[in-house]
Structure 1
């Protein structure tokens, strides 16, 4: 609702933002269940959401190519923190889970690098916080329990999205 009130429907970037937010909501609903099938459906929705974020950032303009290095550092940090996720998902459900998780990790990596090349400082900050949320969720679910993970995942997820919304719509 906030994104619409801020005029998201008025620009191409804003419309892609609305698509990303809607897909995030669909992913949230799927993740309410704890089964592998619901996780896979949620993962698919979030993967499409990150592609929509990527389209949003492209529509904003990737005018700061030097920022890609900072985005790559954020992505590398997340990949290092989540290094046990792919082996754990493969042990859990084989390639039916590990392959989509690997694709998702690639897409979110591209998304965060692209975010860092936009002119807004809020967009890359929000994308980085979103990546931190996803990293905690994956490590907590597949590798080892993290203290207060559910709270931290939800707070960082919502803060990340709010920062992206503000960055896209207030420029």
Structure 2
């Protein structure tokens, strides 16, 4: 089966999920959301076959724990324990993505360029954490840990971009940036200021982020002539 069919299926499932969020059809969310990561894994598998390469195990690990996070967060509304479990699942997923960034053995550096890119992320993370600490003190430590891992994901992605082809790195960084935006919207909506259309905004950025992360990692596997 060609990867393009899996991609079409992923796009359709994503549209259905976002429609379900927009129209508040809970049953449709329960069906469509857990299908996203398995379909994306199928896309990665068949894309790899077409490229004549193997899918890194860490990529499947990232998608598996993202699936766990997706399912757990379906039941996290008003339930802090489920939210924490979902947070842990996504944290582990991010660790797999970090491992993928490290595969190219990037050179870690703290020069002006790296600081320019990292500074807005650090300032934004600090601002969000201070607001969350005010609204929900018990979540300060777990959210701080999660934010640290997100910053590490961004930094290793930035270093991986310098170690690999520019196009690959840009796709990866696009995925990481959208993932940070999606997670920030979750924090904003849950802890600081709930807003209309949160589910749509969160899932739209999340779906695109995961696709770009998978695509970017597959592009890095493509044999360079």
Fold conserved between structures, TM > 0.5? yes
Distance 1:78 1:4 in 2: 36
Distance 2:90 2:186 in 1: 13
Q: List alignment gaps of at least 5 residues for structure 1.
A: none
TM-score for the superposition, normalised by structure 2 = 0.66
Q: Which has the higher contact order (CA 8 A, sep 6+)?
A: 1
> What is the match of residue 5 of structure 1?
46
Distance 2:119 2:193 in 1: 24
Residue 123 (structure 1) aligned with residue 172 (structure 2): yes
Distance 2:121 2:218 in 1: 24
Map residues 1-171 of structure 1 onto 2, 5 A cutoff: 1-7=42-48, 10=54, 14-33=56-75, 34=77, 35-62=79-106, 65=109, 68-69=114-115, 71-76=117-122, 78-79=124-125, 82-83=128-129, 84-90=131-137, 94=138, 97-118=139-160, 119=164, 120-171=169-220
Moved over 6 A (4+): none
Distance 1:64 1:147 in 2: 40
Q: List alignment gaps of at least 5 residues for structure 2.
A: 1-41, 221-225
Distance 1:54 1:109 in 2: 10
- Map Cα deviations across residues 33-67 of structure 1 (whole Å, 9 max, x no partner): 12111101000101111111111110133258566
Q: Give the drift of 1:5.
A: 1.6
What's the Cα RMSD here? 2.1
Contact 1:112 1:124 in 2 (8 A): yes
- Map Cα deviations across residues 2-50 of structure 1 (whole Å, 9 max, x no partner): 1112229815xx2211111110110011100121111010001011111
> What is the match of residue 7 of structure 2?
none
Distance 1:60 1:165 in 2: 16
Alpha-carbon spacing, 1:64–1:27, altered in 2? closer, same or farther (3 Å): same
Distance 2:47 2:143 in 1: 33
TM-score for the superposition, normalised by structure 1 = 0.86
Highest Rg: 1 or 2?
Answer: 2
Moved more, 68-77 or 53-62: 68-77
Alpha-carbon spacing, 1:141–1:25, altered in 2? closer, same or farther (3 Å): same
Distance 1:70 1:7 in 2: 35
Contact 1:60 1:168 in 2 (8 A): no
